[in-house]
Amino acid sequence: MASAAPHTAGPAGPALPPSLPPPSARLQFEVRGSVRGNPYHASGTLDWQHGQSRYDARMEVRIFLLGSRVQTSSGQVGPEGLLPERFADKARSERAAHFERDQHRIRFSSNAPQAELQPGAQDRLSLFFQIAGLLHARPQAYAAGQVIEMQVAGTGDAETWRFQVGEESTLSLPAGELRARHVVRLPRKEFDSTVEMWLAPSLNHLPVRLRVTQPNGDTADQQLSEMPG
């Protein structure tokens, strides 16, 4: 299966496909899921700020009586889309990944071994907006069945993730009905999580549904609860 985002050699190194990240928005989500077989209902907010040369993203999921989990990503914006500088994940304590481009490395606050920084690398929050930008810049280049590959960093590792682009369909969400493209991460190893996103062309390919399924069966399903203003 061919990749939808091939790298071609050039004088400055591998060329990356163009990405046009969506405009700034605040997205409100209704979150349902299960942990160790116990269902939960929560609320979530995804704040996306996109300026001319920089971006900031913040996702917070709040569970009644249990507190919140916050992920943040910040960095630069170029012709190839997002260039993360720092990704952080905080529940009780915060862990972070630092993208040090001058050193060609990703460094982790957890003291995990550093990773080599690859062209087009993203983190576990910025990836949603980077893929949105790829589809927004060239929707005709990403037909159903195409595969997008990129390095994705968490707070302790950075591996190549493969995403398969699916069909467009109509979703019935708490915010109403929306047409959206389905994109899913293809697990490569036994304990990889499955990450799915539904990107709405009418909203500049912003994510209107996000679903993560862990190998142990834990799930988190975020669905847009109101239309962004």
pLDDT at 8 over 80: no
Q: What confidence score (pLDDT) does residue 103 get?
A: 95
List, for residues 148-169, the tens digit of each pLDDT value: 999 999 999 999 999 999 999 9
- The pTM is what? 0.90
Percent of the chain past pLDDT 90, that is, above it, reads: 76
Please write the tens of the pLDDT for every residue from 64-95.
656 789 999 999 999 999 999 999 999 888 99
Banded model confidence at residue 62, pLDDT cuts 50, 70, 90:
confident
- End-to-end, the C-alpha distance of the chain in Å comes to 39
All structural domains of the chain, each given as residue ranges with its CATH number in brackets, are 25-226 (2.50.20)
CA gap 140, 79 in Å, rounded? 18
pLDDT of residue 187: 82
- C-alpha count within 13 angstroms, C-beta hemisphere, residue 62: 8
Q: Could you tell me which residues come within 8 angstroms of residue 83 by beta carbon, excluding any fewer than 6 positions away?
A: 75, 76, 77, 99, 101
pLDDT in tens, 10-41: 334 457 899 999 999 999 999 999 888 889 89
* Average confidence (pLDDT) over 201-205: 96
